[in-house]
């Protein structure tokens, strides 16, 4: 049997056979296999935006409206980032909205009633979030109580705790100027250009370096059009976003916080062992355990991170509405989970990327903003969002079934 192997194609051998495939060939293969990636979602987003722009006679795509849309949705986006992490390990966190309001209330209460500095108030809010997350994680991973129940209990308990913290009021008005500034300020030219520019350059250099290293090792290289497409997509989306923001008041700080967090978590999830192990736990926890991964530790860490992100969202929200409030926005939790799922994160664990948040924010944001522009009420908005969420989850379930029956 060792004589005939040389004639057959071997794994990873030179880029001869694979890289010859042209762009169109590749697309045809992907289409046939059903690997559309994010393409259908992006297409949906473009259609939704065009529809609202036409229906609202050009108001929707006006830079002021788009800037407001991002400002409104960035808070929920931060919450959605937390739910992406939890969904990746195949769990769910229903307590994030309550936790974010609680942490916002803690910050406002400390700042207003106890006159602590903005920095200390923010730090306290983050620590409260982290501790709550670690407690959730302890119950879920160490005691193996289903996360649905643990965090449902958390949702109830922390909703009560917010009321308790703010007693005797139900809202406390924020006085600290630094804290108020978080959601009210914009980063303007030239700083908004100078921040992303080096990042894009670093990304380009990283891809080039990786390509050279692979060539040196004789590994298969992705075709040039794929390389160009990646760089191009990054440059175009950054330029487009800056162009839109620059037409109005600049980039909202809230948006920078959200994008910065997405970037940090993308690096963590994609380029480190921690991220790799999170995906492994979500894909097959037993295999991860046998590979020597500390599954319990990973789960606790993820719940801790998710609640800390919820605390961050609470800080942004308190700054945006200039108060600590006990009236938890009922759409917060469900929109956060919806954003993650619409962005392609699987409810079954192990599949999806933190960039899902960007897509989720834009789609959910467009729907709610656009329907308001058309004079439709919350009634219509919620029904439409429900339908979109159902479609997204159905696509996820179908993709999973195809994977399971696939080419086995």
Partner 1 sequence: MAEDASLPPAQPGPTTRETPGASVATAEPVLRLHNISKAFGAVQALRDVDFEVYANEVVGLVGDNGAGKSTLIKTIAGVNIPDTGEIFVDGHRVSISTPQDATKLGIETVYQDLALCDNLDVVANLFLGREDGFKLTPFVRTLDETEMERRTVDVLKQLDVKIPSVRSVVATLSGGQRQSIAVAKTILRNAKVILLDEPTAALGVAQTRQVLNLIRRLREQGLAVVVISHNLADVFEVTDRVIVMRLGRRVSTFDVRATTAEQVVGAITGAEFGEEPAESAQAASGQE
Instruction: Please report, as ranges, the residues that interact with partner 1 according to CB under 8 A.
Output: 1-2, 5, 8-12, 18, 210, 213-214, 217-220, 268, 271-274, 276-277, 279-280, 282-284, 286-288, 290-293, 297, 349-351, 403-404, 406-408
Cβ nearer to partner 1, comparing 197 with 398: 398
Burial class (CB in 10 A: 0-12, 13-18, 19+), 300: buried
Report in angstroms how near the CB of residue 408 gets to partner 1 at its nearest.
6
Report in angstroms how near the CB of residue 146 gets to partner 1 at its nearest.
21
The candidate with the shortest Cα–Cα distance to 210, out of 197, 233, 227, 234, is 227
Report in angstroms how near the CB of residue 279 gets to partner 1 at its nearest.
6
Report in angstroms how near the CB of residue 355 gets to partner 1 at its nearest.
17
Distance between start and end Cα atoms, the chain: 25
Report in angstroms how near the CB of residue 89 gets to partner 1 at its nearest.
11
Distance CA 226, CA 244 (A): 27
Q: Report the sign of the C-alpha dihedral through residues 62, 340, 151, 289, in that order.
A: negative
Cβ nearer to partner 1, comparing 21 with 232: 21
Distance CA 16, CA 137 (A): 49
Cβ nearer to partner 1, comparing 76 with 88: 88
Distance CA 144, CA 209 (A): 44
Cβ nearer to partner 1, comparing 8 with 144: 8
Across 293-384, the runs of DSSP E, i.e. the strands, are 323-325
Say which DSSP state 223 is in.
P
Question: Strand, helix or coil at 69?
Answer: helix
Q: What b/e sequence results for 98-112 when a residue is b if at least 16 CB atoms lie within 10 Å of its CB, and e otherwise?
A: bbbbbbbbbbbbbbb
Cβ nearer to partner 1, comparing 11 with 167: 11
Cβ nearer to partner 1, comparing 11 with 143: 11
Report in angstroms how near the CB of residue 79 gets to partner 1 at its nearest.
24
């Amino acid at each position: 049997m060792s004589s005939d192997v040389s004639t057959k194609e071997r794994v990873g051998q030179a880029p001869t056979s694979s890289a010859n495939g042209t762009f169109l060939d590749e697309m045809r293969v992907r289409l046939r296999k059903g690997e559309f990636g994010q393409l259908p979602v992006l297409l949906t987003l473009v259609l939704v935006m065009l529809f609202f722009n036409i229906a609202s006679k050009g108001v929707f795509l006006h830079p002021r409206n788009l800037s407001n849309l991002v400002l409104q949705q960035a808070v929920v986006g931060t919450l959605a980032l937390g739910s992406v992490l939890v969904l990746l390990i195949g769990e769910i966190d229903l307590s994030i909205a309550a936790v974010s309001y609680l942490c916002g209330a803690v910050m406002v209460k400390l700042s207003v009633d106890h006159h602590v500095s903005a920095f200390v108030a923010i730090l306290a809010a983050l620590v409260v979030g982290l501790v709550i997350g670690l407690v959730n994680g302890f119950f879920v991973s160490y005691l193996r109580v289903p996360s649905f129940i643990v965090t449902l209990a958390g949702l109830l308990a922390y909703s009560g705790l917010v009321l308790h913290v703010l007693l005797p009021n139900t809202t406390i008005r924020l006085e600290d100027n630094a804290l108020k500034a978080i959601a009210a300020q914009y980063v303007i030219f030239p700083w908004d250009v100078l921040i992303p520019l080096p990042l894009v350059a670093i990304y380009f250099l990283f891809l080039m370096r990786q390509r050279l290293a692979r060539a040196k090792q004789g590994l298969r290289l992705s075709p040039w059009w794929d390389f160009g497409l990646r760089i191009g997509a990054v440059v175009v989306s950054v330029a487009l976003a800056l162009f839109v923001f620059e037409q109005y008041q600049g980039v909202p700080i809230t948006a920078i916080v959200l994008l910065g967090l997405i970037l940090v978590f993308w690096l963590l999830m994609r380029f480190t062992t921690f991220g790799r192990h999170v995906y492994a736990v979500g894909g097959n926890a037993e295999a991860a355990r046998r590979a020597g991964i500390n599954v319990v530790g990973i789960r606790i860490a993820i719940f801790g991170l998710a609640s800390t992100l919820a605390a961050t969202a609470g800080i942004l929200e308190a700054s945006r509405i200039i108060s600590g409030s006990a009236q938890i926005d009922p759409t917060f939790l469900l929109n956060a989970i919806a954003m993650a799922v619409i962005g392609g994160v699987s409810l079954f664990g192990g599949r999806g990327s933190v960039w899902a948040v960007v897509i989720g924010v834009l789609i959910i944001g467009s729907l709610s903003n656009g329907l308001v522009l058309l004079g439709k009420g919350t009634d219509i908005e919620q029904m439409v969002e429900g339908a979109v969420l159902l479609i997204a989850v159905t696509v996820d379930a179908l993709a999973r079934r195809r994977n399971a029956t696939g080419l086995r």
